[in-house]
Amino acid sequence: MRIGIYGGSFDPFHNGHLAMIRSALKSGIVDCVITVPSVCNSFKRYTSILPAPYRYYMVRDCIDTLGIKNVYTSDVEFGIEGVSYTVLTLKALTEPGYIKAFLEGNGVKSKKASEDHKFYWLMGSDTLATFETWYKPGEILDMATLLVAARPGDDTDIEVCSRSIRKNLGGDIEVFRLDGVECSSSGIVRDDRFDMCPEPVLDFIKTHDLYSENTRLEGISDEAKKQFFDYSVLMYKYLGEKRLLHTLNVGILSAHLAEVFGADKDKALIAGAIHDCAKELDIDEQRRLAREYSGDVFTDKKLLHSPGGATFARDKMGIEDKEILDAVCYHTTGRGNMSVLEKIVYLADKIEPSRTYTDLTDIRIAAESDLDQAMRMTVSSVRDKFIKQGRDIHPMTLDLMRDLGM
């Protein structure tokens, strides 16, 4: 098969990206296109707005929902250590074992998936001029033909650039005409032009409340943002889509609540973002990790991931900060004398934007001004649920209720 590979930040994925994919397919040069959302792009390291899992699922869900034939999304960069340079992405993706399994997993017949494939790296004409400065461009050309979209309005002389690349590095370059809208992700965010995004992307953005004023991580330190991005990639290995996006949402909302209630925003972001990191581990593993953090305080299966998560965060992420670890440990039960940070994570867990288990409007409004009131409303709905299900309320939750005057 002739396979086009389209890497990018997709922050957000927009109609210009779709035009690129559709035009490449229409050109007849490639049989299919694999989109590869960047995990740790060499040019935009840690500068994207959203960590990789959001962008990966945004693209994948959009392409699936639109049902565009012969277009697939790869998470191959999640497996690359450090900066995911194009040359490394290509190496991983073109590896015969990987590409065959990937194509079969996307419904391509085994015989076709096992063919000797020819790979094309998709790029806009504007980036062609910089290609020779990329990391190991010669090796890139050994693995793939450059497939250049002639963008209307871009005055790059494709002929001149191609000649120089061929002369200095060898390799093949092909050009196709780009039909459709021109837009940029940064422009869309800056000018609030989300109408340039396809419907499924808009739904995704709305569900997770992304790119809004409260969720842009302003005022977060570079170090915390870097940790947030790195942990999100690490957790991708351990959590499914829904839970991973939930736990990241809790991080972003916690950072916002920390701003409102004067807590440490960096710590809130991290504690919230990792609070469910252990939730999909084997239950015996959760029990072992839980015991390590807090002995036999937690025995209920549904609670083990909280103290277990604290141990996991310490061992796998190297987090030593006790305030962060405790916020993770007590996010399900709460406890007496909770810190503001602990309350924030507890609350954000129950009301992050993708939560729909009940009408949360009133609690969300309260959470913008009165932390304890929002806590009371949340704990009381938890208590009602427990009573309905005939479950005992944990003694630590009773301590929390007492503190809140319930």
Provide the binding-site residues for Fe ion, judged by CB under 5 A.
276, 349
**Minimum CB–partner distance for residue 303 and Fe ion (Å):** 9
**Minimum CB–partner distance for residue 347 and Fe ion (Å):** 11
Contact 379, 306 (CB under 8 A): no
- What CA–CA distances, in Å, run from 328 to 195, 305, 313? 37, 9, 9
Angstrom distance (rounded) from CA 341 to CA 257: 9
**Minimum CB–partner distance for residue 245 and Fe ion (Å):** 11
**Minimum CB–partner distance for residue 241 and Fe ion (Å):** 14
Angstrom distance (rounded) from CA 76 to CA 37: 9
**Minimum CB–partner distance for residue 98 and Fe ion (Å):** 32
First and final C-alpha spacing in the chain: 65
Q: Which is nearer to Fe ion, 162 or 286 (CB)?
A: 286
Angstrom distance (rounded) from CA 207 to CA 299: 33
For residue 148, the cross-strand partners are 123, 175
Q: Which is nearer to Fe ion, 276 or 342 (CB)?
A: 276
Q: Which is nearer to Fe ion, 149 or 304 (CB)?
A: 304
Q: How far is C-alpha 158 from the geometric centre of its chain's CA atoms? A: 34
Q: Which is nearer to Fe ion, 172 or 209 (CB)?
A: 209
User: Which uninterrupted H or E stretch holds 174?
Assistant: strand 173-177
**Minimum CB–partner distance for residue 349 and Fe ion (Å):** 4
**Minimum CB–partner distance for residue 324 and Fe ion (Å):** 15
Q: Tokens representing 321?
A: 């900060």
Angstrom distance (rounded) from CA 86 to CA 141: 11
Q: Which is nearer to Fe ion, 89 or 333 (CB)?
A: 333
For residue 73, the cross-strand partners are 35
Angstrom distance (rounded) from CA 123 to CA 147: 6
Contact 333, 346 (CB under 8 A): no
Helix, strand or coil for residue 227? Answer: helix
Contact 132, 156 (CB under 8 A): no
Q: Which is nearer to Fe ion, 4 or 272 (CB)?
A: 272
CA neighbor of 257 nearest in space, from 367, 360, 377, 359: 367
Q: Which is nearer to Fe ion, 151 or 305 (CB)?
A: 305
Q: Which is nearer to Fe ion, 151 or 279 (CB)?
A: 279
**Minimum CB–partner distance for residue 207 and Fe ion (Å):** 16
